[in-house]
Amino acid sequence: MVWRDGVHVAGSVLWCDAGRARDLCFVSHAHVAARGAHGKVLATDRTLALLGKRSATTLASPFGRRFSLGSLRLELFPSGHLPGAASLRVEVGGRTVVYGGDVNPRPGLAEPMEVRDGDALVLESPLAPLDGELPPRAEAEAALCDAVGRALADGATPVVLAPALGAAQDALAILHRAGVPLRAHPRVLDGAFAWQRAGITMPPVRRGMPSRGEALVWPLHLRASAQLGRLPRPRLIAATGLALDPLAARKLDVAEVVPLSDHADRPSLLAYVAHTGAREVWLTDGWCEPLARALAARGVRAAPLGPPRQMDLFA
């Protein structure tokens, strides 16, 4: 595997989550967007539906079906990151490489994460630099409902901040089950409509700013929007794996952070690597020395894969 604005299976036509147009690209989940159109896109049916990319130039594969593409033997399996999100197992030149991508062992609306064996492994690991372990999914959901319930009881307007595609739709489903009246930002609603088109049941949610007694689900990256400042007594609640950082609330400038995440924490990444049996691990995001040292202690070589940069978790 080599990095050239995306991960390339050397000696083949196959790319994984490439940032610019390629002849053939595996797209692991619906967050991925290329600059330009790939010649052909390999993904699951659900990811293609979320992207709106079903056409003659798409190659849809179900989970768990092995197939050949030239000299490559391939299999897509669930990563748990988003509905339809997949990891890719590649047999090539007598070796097996697993492009895990962005994995999540605690999914909400996504399919449960699976693991495959491999000699080498490529992982995205944005939470790896943070210490600690995320709680079980049920505890994170309860923490979100408690935070929103306290805000409503105090007469405040709860604003749940989450990634617009993924955790935001999870938050809608969680709060609806708890009986909380909801409003949502248009980008969050667009994601919910896409989920419905992909066969995932979403609760009825209204567009626009909330009235008294309602909660608002808003994109995390738009937390500084002037619109939120015009709400009556807004209380910002971030739903993110960045809750592992004890200073997350101050850094994000919110009242509270709850640990609802669609990424894997460092202990989960270590467990994932162990289950694959890989002796080489390449990290495309979230490189950190503690993770590398922990892997080295287990006889696993770890290295960053991608352009050199300083990661800012709170950008």
The total number of structural domains in the chain stands at: 2
89 in the same domain as 33 = yes
Per the domain annotation, does 65 fall within a domain?
yes
User: Quick one: pLDDT at residue 214?
Assistant: 95
User: Quick one: pLDDT at residue 138?
Assistant: 97
The domain of 300 spans: 2-131+263-304
124 in the same domain as 12 = yes
Per the domain annotation, does 314 fall within a domain?
no
271 in the same domain as 127 = yes
pLDDT tens string 259-274: 999 999 999 999 999 9
pLDDT tens string 35-71: 668 889 999 999 998 887 666 588 999 999 999 988 8
What is the full DSSP assignment across 10-61?
TTSSEEES-SB--SEEE--STT---BS--SEEEE-HHHHHHHT--STTEEE-
Nearest-angstrom CA–CA distance, 128 and 241? 11
Q: Of the candidates 223, 239, 258, which is a domain's last residue?
A: 258
160 in the same domain as 61 = no
User: Quick one: pLDDT at residue 70?
Assistant: 86
160 in the same domain as 175 = yes
- pTM comes to 0.90
pLDDT tens digits in sequence order for the chain, 315 residues long: 777 778 888 888 899 998 888 889 999 998 876 666 888 999 999 999 888 766 658 899 999 999 998 889 999 999 999 999 999 999 988 899 999 999 999 999 999 999 999 999 999 989 999 999 999 999 999 999 999 999 999 999 999 999 998 999 999 999 999 999 999 999 999 999 989 988 899 998 999 899 999 999 999 999 999 999 899 999 999 999 999 999 999 999 999 999 999 999 999 999 999 999 999 999 988 778 888 889 999 999 998 886 544 445 454
61 in the same domain as 30 = yes
Per the domain annotation, does 190 fall within a domain?
yes
Residue 101: closest CA among 43, 178, 28: 28
6 in the same domain as 115 = yes
Per the domain annotation, does 311 fall within a domain?
no
267 in the same domain as 214 = no
User: Quick one: pLDDT at residue 90?
Assistant: 95
User: Quick one: pLDDT at residue 132?
Assistant: 93
Nearest-angstrom CA–CA distance, 38 and 241? 31
121 in the same domain as 47 = yes
Nearest-angstrom CA–CA distance, 177 and 25? 38
116 in the same domain as 6 = yes
Question: Residue 178 is part of a domain; what is its CATH number?
Answer: 3.40.50.10890
